[in-house]
Amino acid sequence: MVTPKTKEIETSETRENLNKEDKISVNKVQVMTLGFMLYVAGLLPPNSAAPFIRFFNRMFLICIFALYTYALLGQLIAVYVHWGNIPVISTVMSYMSGLLVSVLVSVYFLHNKDKFMTLIDLLRNEFVENMNSKYIKFIHIAERQVALCCIFATPVAVTLATISIATPFLSNNTISNFDNNTLTTERNNLDRLMFVIWLPFAIEDSPQFEIIMVLQVFVICFSLLMLTAVDVIFLLLMSHAAAQFKVLCAMLNDMHENISQVEWNRSKHKSPLQNIANFNLMSDPVTSADNISCHESGSGNCGSPSSETRQEKCHVNRDAFRLYLVKCIKYHQAVIEFVGDLNEILSFSMFLRIANFPLILCMTGFGMTQNLANHEQLLKFASFFVASLYLIGSYCWFGQQVIDESEKVQLAFYSTDWYSQTPGDKSLLPLAIMRASRPVTLNAGVFFDLSFVTLASLVNTSYRFFTMLIQLNDS
Mean pLDDT confidence for 356-382 = 72
Q: What is the largest CA-CA distance in the chain?
A: 106
Task: Tell me the pLDDT tens digit for each residue of 390-401.
Answer: 889 999 999 999
The span from the CA of 156 to the CA of 385, in Å, is 10
Higher pLDDT, 253 or 209: 253
pLDDT confidence tier of residue 131, bands split at 50, 70 and 90 = confident
Distance CA 410, CA 414 (A): 6
Task: Count the neighbouring beta carbons within 10 Å of the beta carbon of residue 130.
Answer: 10
pLDDT confidence tier of residue 3, bands split at 50, 70 and 90: low
Task: Give residue 291's pLDDT.
Answer: 37
Residues 175 and 190 sit within 8 Å (Cβ to Cβ):
yes
Whether 107 and 201 have beta carbons less than 8 Å apart is answered as: no
Per-residue model confidence (pLDDT) at position 2: 46
Region 243-272 average pLDDT: 70
Q: Distance between CA 250 and CA 244 in Å, rounded?
A: 10
113 vs 421 pLDDT, higher one:
113
Q: How confident is the model at residue 385 (pLDDT cuts 50, 70, 90)?
A: confident
Taking 50 as the threshold, does the pLDDT of residue 276 lie above it? no
Distance CA 300, CA 29 (A): 51
* Residue 205: pLDDT over 60: yes
Mean pLDDT of 394-423: 88
Q: Is the pLDDT of residue 336 over 70?
A: yes
Contact 462, 357 (CB under 8 A): yes
Q: Residue 271 phi/psi, 5° resolution?
A: -80, 155
pLDDT score for 130: 81
Q: What's the pLDDT tens digit per position in 36-90?
A: 888 888 888 888 888 898 999 999 999 999 999 999 998 898 888 888 776 777 7
Task: Report the sign of the C-alpha dihedral through residues 6, 11, 17, 23, in that order.
Answer: negative
pLDDT score of 21 more than 50: no
219 contacts 99 by C-beta, under 8 angstroms: yes
Confidence class for position 309, pLDDT limits 50, 70, 90: very low
Least confident of 98-107, 231-240, 272-281, 319-328: 272-281
Q: How far apart (Å, rounded) are the C-alpha atoms in residues 184 and 196?
A: 12
Which residue, among 75, 64, 66, has the nearest Cα to 97 in the 3D structure?
75
Q: Is the pLDDT of residue 95 over 90?
A: no
**Using omega within 30 degrees of 0 as the cis cutoff, is the peptide bond preceding 45 cis?**
no
Task: Provide, rounded to the nearest whole percent, the portion of the chain with pLDDT above 90.
Answer: 23
| Backbone torsions φ then ψ of 444, nearest 5 degrees | -115, 90
pLDDT of residue 370: 67
SS (H, E, C) the chain: CCCHHHHHHHHHHHHHHHHHHHHHHHHCCCCCHHHHHHHHCCCCCCCCCCHHHHHHHHHHHHHHHHHHHHHHHHHHHHHHHCCCCHHHHHHHHHHHHHHHHHHHHHHHHHHCHHHHHHHHHHHHHHHHCCCCHHHHHHHHHHHHHHHHHHHHHHHHHHHHHHHHHHHHHHCCCCCCCCCCCCCCCCCCCHHHCCCCCCCCCCCCCCCHHHHHHHHHHHHHHHHHHHHHHHHHHHHHHHHHHHHHHHHHHHHHHCHHHHCCHHHHHHHHCCCHHHHHHHHHHHCCCCCCHHHHHHHHHCCCCCCCHHHHHHHHHHHHHHHHHHHHHHHHHHHHHHHHHHHHHHHHHHHHHHHHHHHHHHHHHHHHHHHHHCCCCCHHHHHHHHHHHHHHHHHHHHHHHHHHHHHHHHHHHHHHHHCCCHHHCCHHHHCCHHHHHHHHCCCCCCEECCCEECCHHHHHHHHHHHHHHHHHHHHHHHC
Residue 220 is predicted with a pLDDT of 86
User: Residue 444's pLDDT is what?
Assistant: 87
pLDDT at 372: 60
Query: What average pLDDT does the structure give for the chain?
Result: 75
- With 90 as the cut, is the pLDDT of residue 340 above it? yes
Q: Among 274-288, 303-317, 360-374, which stretch is predicted with the lowest mean pLDDT?
A: 274-288
CB atoms within 10 A of CB 168: 17
